[in-house]
Amino acid sequence: MKILAIETATEACSAALYVDGEIEERFRVEPRRHSELILPMMEQLLATGSLKLTELDALAFGQGPGSFTGVRIATGVIQGAAFGADLPVVPVSTLAALAQRGAREFDAKHLLPAFDARMNELYWGCYQVTSTGLVEAVQADRLVSPGGLQSPEGTGWVGVGTGWQTYGEILAANLAGSVQSFESDLLCSAWDVALLAAAGFAAGKAVSAEQALPVYLRDKVAWKR
């Protein structure tokens, strides 16, 4: 299985090439250069793997939530590439990808990924690691007020993402007893988008280019292809 994945919904810009379980990634933290960096990253990975776009099985992208501009960039790039190469697309939640990175880097089993959504709100997820080593949602991704969250069932939860940097004290106080630690510097990575996309592709979750749509979780944002 060969999948090229991209992720631009946060401060990090990254692309990853998944080939039969092996992953190579390009990753840079340059918030204002995503549109400039992402295509060369994709081209470099294909060149390194001696692959043409048309030789892939699918494309994948972090579909949001996250930065409105970043999510639009990823959606536009992946739709254009998918149309041009006639490839299916596997959309992946950016909160799921963030949780997957937390599981991969910190060996956490219960994760609470969060991005700052501005306007005193958070993009919030609740995930656990399954026997496959991949995360699955315990609750649907949502837009929440940091002060209005209730503790998830159980203990040993690990918070990940920049939402914990902005609202760490409020969240730690509100979720006391459930959260054992948080990693507020962790950013999304295309590596984890690729991991989840490979499982999604195998499970038949790929869609056509025109169905590869962004997820914002906030109603006051319009998307035009």
Q: Looking at residue 151, what is its pLDDT?
A: 81
Dihedral of alpha carbons 186, 191, 195, 200, sign: positive
Contacts of 137 by beta carbon, 8 Å cutoff, 6+ apart = 93, 96, 125, 126, 127
CATH T-level fold of 95-183: Nucleotidyltransferase; domain 5 (3.30.420)
Q: Indicate the SS3 state at residue 146.
A: helix
pTM to 2 decimal places = 0.94
Q: Looking at residue 61, what is its pLDDT?
A: 98
d(CA 13, CA 74) in angstroms, rounded, equals 10
**Of 199, 71, 217, 67, nearest in space to 133 by CA:** 199
Q: Where exactly are the structural domains of the chain? A: 2-93+188-211, 95-183
DSSP structure class, residue 219: T
Intrachain domains 2-93+188-211 and 95-183 with the same fold: yes
179-195 pLDDT tens trace:
999 999 999 999 999 99
Confidence of residue 224 (pLDDT cuts 50, 70, 90): very low
Average pLDDT of the residues in 3-12 = 97
CATH of 2-93+188-211, one of 3.80.10.10, 3.30.590.10, 3.30.1360.30, 3.30.420.40: 3.30.420.40
Confidence of residue 198 (pLDDT cuts 50, 70, 90): very high
d(CA 98, CA 112) in angstroms, rounded, equals 9
Q: Which run of H or E residues covers position 80?
A: helix 68-85
55-99 pLDDT tens trace:
999 999 999 999 999 999 999 999 999 999 999 999 999 999 999
120-154 pLDDT tens trace:
999 999 999 999 999 999 999 999 999 888 888 88
Q: Looking at residue 222, what is its pLDDT?
A: 42
